[in-house]
Structure 1
Amino acid sequence: MKKYTSMRDLIMSTNKKIVITGGPGTGKTSIIDFLKENGHQCLLEISRQVTLEAQAQGIEQLFLTDPLLFSNKLLEGRINQHKESEILSGTIFFDRGIPDVVAYMDYAGDNYPSYFKEACLNYRYHQIFLLPPWEAIYTSDNERYENFEQATEIYHHLKKTYLDSGYELLEVPQGSISERANFVLNNLR
């Protein structure tokens, strides 16, 4: 059994799961990439992978064509990420968390099985950083179908879902990628 010399050593040795979330185009992935480039453990967003796999099969937007199938794939992938993170020590940053799946389903107005919300309660994170809409940096691309107004609406669903799941949220202010990443790092509990 490992002995700790102080409470700080004990706290610093534990596995901490930190989610960086927000609506589309708010800079989440840029912050995650910055953290990863600077030696931090990061688990990347999987929705682009699911979208690209569907596009390879001729389905342009799986989320629009079959939202439940898309969301089930995301939920499964995010649960797997959560489980995989258990073998890591230290702080692990997630580009989106399990509650994001519920928020997007609520945004779409689609029904989903109860195990979606149960997963939000069964697989917990230590801290959530929320990026608010920021029109100046918003861009659209092949995997992002939302316009800025829709991205803003998704942000509100994300905020509600995380709060409903019992999390406190810390909003990341606007700034350069390094300033935003440092805000996250400086506000870890």
Structure 2
Amino acid sequence: MKTKRIVITGGPGTGKTTLINELEKKGHSCLHEVSREVIKKAQKEGIEQLFLTNPILFSERLLEGRLQQFNEAESYNGALLFYDRGLPDVTAYMDYFGTTYSEIFTKSCMDNQYDTVFLLPPWKKIYKQDNERYENFEEAKKIHTALLKGYENYGYDVQLVPTGSVEERIAFILDNLK
């Protein structure tokens, strides 16, 4: 049985991690966001904001981590594997910031395709900033647009998840798997 790779993505503060954690509690296999690990590792190396200091190195580390996660699906026996963000998030963010990047980024996104992509919209009611999330809500809305465009550029039929309770959002995702 081939494991379906399902991405849950969205701008900062849209509830991705909350949904991933709840899906995991319900027994689904989930792979967690790697960017916070990259940020914390850079901070231990003395770089407070790696993305702002060296956006390409930050993006290379994200790409590496997400490629590793993508390949982990080969070792799963379950029918579904949920990802907190996918490879196209890397290029979408670089596009948003106007960062020039090499073909390896786009090639990685084209060569490693997910089965289904769910995009969470910006939602003011739940949005919070923290030490690793330095974008404001207006920026989060623009990032949402960049993510939608980014995934569509790689040929994905992106499914927009409506706002609502965690249970309602999970039900929407599970009912709309392709």
* Same fold per superposition (TM over 0.5): yes
Q: Shift in Å at residue 14 of structure 1? A: 2.4
SS for the counterpart of 2:13 is coil
Q: Structure 2 CA distance, aligned partners of 1:145 and 1:107?
A: 15
Note the alpha carbon deviations across 1:54-83, whole angstroms, 9 max, x for none: 111221111111000000000000001011
How do residues 92-171 of structure 1 correspond to structure 2 at under 5 angstroms? 92-171=81-160
Q: Which amino acid aligns with 1:84?
A: E
Q: Give 2:35's aligned residue.
A: 47
User: TM-score under structure 2 normalisation?
Assistant: 0.97
What residue in structure 2 maps to residue 72 of structure 1?
60
Between the aligned partners of 2:32 and 2:52, the Cα distance in structure 1 is 22
**Aligned residue runs from structure 1 range 5-84, under 5 A:** 13-84=1-72
SS of structure 2 residue aligned to 1:39: coil
Q: Distance in 2 between matches of 1:68 and 1:173?
A: 33
Structure 1 runs (4+) deviating above 2 angstroms are none
CA RMSD of aligned residues (A): 0.8
Q: What residue ranges of structure 1 are gaps of 5+ in the alignment?
A: 1-12
Q: Following the alignment from structure 2 to structure 1, what is the Cα–Cα distance between the partners of residues 16 and 171?
A: 13
1:164 CA displacement = 0.4
Identity over aligned pairs, percent: 54
Number of residues of Structure 1 aligned to a counterpart in Structure 2: 177
Q: SS state of the match for residue 119, structure 2?
A: strand
Alpha-carbon distance between aligned partners in 2 of 1:14 and 1:113, rounded to the nearest angstrom: 31
Q: Which has the larger radius of gyration?
A: 1
Unmatched tracts of structure 2, length 5 or more: none
TM-score (ref. length: structure 1): 0.92
Shift of 1:138: 0.5
